[in-house]
Amino acid sequence: MPSPLAVTGAGVVTAAGRGVGAAWRVLCAGQSLLARDEDPQLAGFSPLLTARCAPLDPESLGADRRAARIMGRHTHMLLACAGDALREGGCGVGEIGGEEIAFFAGMDAVDPEEGDLAAAVAASRGAEGGVGLPEFFAEGLGRIPPLWPLGMLNAMGFCQVAIQFGLRGENAVFSPGAEAGAQAVAEAADALRAGRARAALAAGVSAVVSARAVARHRGQGLLPPGAGGRPFAGGEGAALGEGAGVLLLEPPEAARARGRQVRGRVRSWGSARALDDPGGLARAIRAAADAALRAGGVEADEVGLVLPHAEGGREGDRAEVEALSALFEGRRPLALATKGAFGHLLGGAPAVDLALALRALEEGVVPPSPGAGRGAEGVLRFPARPERAGGLRFALVLCRGFGGTCSAFLAESA
């Protein structure tokens, strides 16, 4: 059985603020940061709950002024999380060279911001007050920053972060949803186990809430009209959150040799793809969980904590409950669902949930899950208040992406 991988650093940004501690305090207080989004850009949609992050100043994160001008908010979140994870793990400061650090991230599509082309439009006013093509080609076109189209590529933000921290090892960007963040964790772990890196960053970033993001994810079925974002709430649908997560992974013996504190371990993982037939999604969730447990040499009855995907959609939540009921055969492990507090972080969800799972194992405490419980009471046990659970060793973290892609990770206490 392959050895678990040590988590020596973690960075998290959510609507709670920056840091795992900020997110943990909100969960322990039983708070939900979801609120009706009053952004005028979203006025054409039915009422929507979101959990937005406060803006981050890129220059305060170490970005030079010229780079900061072309960074989007998704890059700011990734930059903050990567910096926090590297600092906590003591990497990127001489102990491990940049060419020895792998970097993988799941990132959503990048949408243009409302003011990006304002100067070009203002310079293209035609005789009748609208945008005139002659005026646009004569004046407006020259007001579009030459690098602006490249800024719509999610790999640009990834590269900006890699440049900032001198990360020159094996790397890749995956897109678009939670399956992309799960793939980033799996690829980071594989790079370490194959000896292609001494340390690896596994990252994920959400979409930035905008009219385009809402339309895109509504078209993918994630945000049905009336989306409420309450896990296992009978099909109300997900709520978009903004955030990111980054884990710094190392082989345990390397972390010990460097004298780094280990926050916990990623022991194993599994994945499966649902077939388009009745019961296919439940079978895929169960298959992913079984594969993770089998790879980790752990039995289902040894799992003391479950972090379900629990996005709030009728079909997905029902399938998850069915799969977990079959997996645990009547036993009800403690559970923590985070999307009722922070919204669906898409590519950022797997890394954030893994970081919070490790925090729960470290503290021996399971916080409440805002809005969760209805529909899953007979399968999982969601505490009404922070519950001390001594002896927690293993946590199962579930992730479900677009197209029926299901993943599971087995986290282990340090």
Q: What's the per-residue H, E or C state across the chain?
A: CCCCEEEEEEEEEECCEECHHHHHHHHHCCCCCCEECCCHHHCCCCCCEEECCCCCCHHHHCCCHHHHHCCCHHHHHHHHHHHHHHHHHCCCCCCCCHHHEEEEEEECCCCCCCCCCHHHHHCCECCCCCECHHHHHHCHHHHCCCCCHHHHCHHHHHHHHHHHHCCCCCEEEECCCHHHHHHHHHHHHHHHHCCCCCEEEEEEECCCCCHHHHHHHHHCCCCCCCCCCCCCCCCCCCCEECCEEEEEEECHHHHHHCCCCCCEEEEEEEEEECCCCCCHHHHHHHHHHHHHHHHHCCCHHHEEEEECCCCCCHHHHHHHHHHHHHHHCCCCCEECCCHHHHCECHHHHHHHHHHHHHHHHHHCEECCCCCCCCCCCCCCECCCCCEECCCCCEEEEEEECHHHEEEEEEEECC
pLDDT value at residue 38? 92
Cα 204 to Cα 50: distance, rounded to the nearest angstrom? 18
Residues 277 and 289 sit within 8 Å (Cβ to Cβ) = no
Cα 69 to Cα 158: distance, rounded to the nearest angstrom? 15
User: For residue 240, what are the contacts with CB-CB under 8 A and spacing of at least 6?
Assistant: 48, 50, 51, 206, 207, 209, 213, 214, 217, 223, 343, 344, 346
pLDDT value at residue 78? 96
Residues 7 and 262 sit within 8 Å (Cβ to Cβ) = yes
pLDDT value at residue 124? 83
**What residues form DSSP beta bridges with 241?**
51
* Token pair recorded at residue 255: 């972390």
pLDDT value at residue 230? 67
* Token pair recorded at residue 65: 């002024």
Cα 262 to Cα 39: distance, rounded to the nearest angstrom? 42
Cα 163 to Cα 7: distance, rounded to the nearest angstrom? 23
Question: Tens-digit pLDDT profile for the chain (414 aa)?
Answer: 678 999 999 999 999 999 999 999 999 999 999 999 999 988 888 888 999 999 999 888 888 777 777 788 899 999 999 999 999 988 754 578 789 999 999 998 877 776 777 788 888 887 777 888 888 888 888 888 777 776 667 788 899 999 999 999 999 999 989 999 999 999 999 999 999 999 999 999 999 999 989 998 888 888 766 545 667 755 566 789 999 999 999 999 988 888 888 999 999 999 999 987 778 999 999 999 999 999 999 999 999 999 999 988 888 899 999 999 999 998 999 999 999 999 999 999 999 999 999 999 999 999 999 988 767 878 999 999 999 998 899 999 999 999 899 999 999 999
pLDDT value at residue 259? 86
Please determine, looking at this structure, whether the domain spanning 5-113+148-412 carries the CATH number 3.40.50.360.
no
pLDDT value at residue 234? 53
pLDDT value at residue 228? 57
* Token pair recorded at residue 355: 């970081």
Q: How far is CA 164 from CA 78, 80, 187, 290, in A?
A: 11, 11, 22, 39
Residue 371 region by backbone torsions, left for phi larger than 0, else alpha for psi between -120 and 50, else beta? left
pLDDT value at residue 68? 73
**What residues form DSSP beta bridges with 269?**
409
What pTM did the predictor assign?
0.91
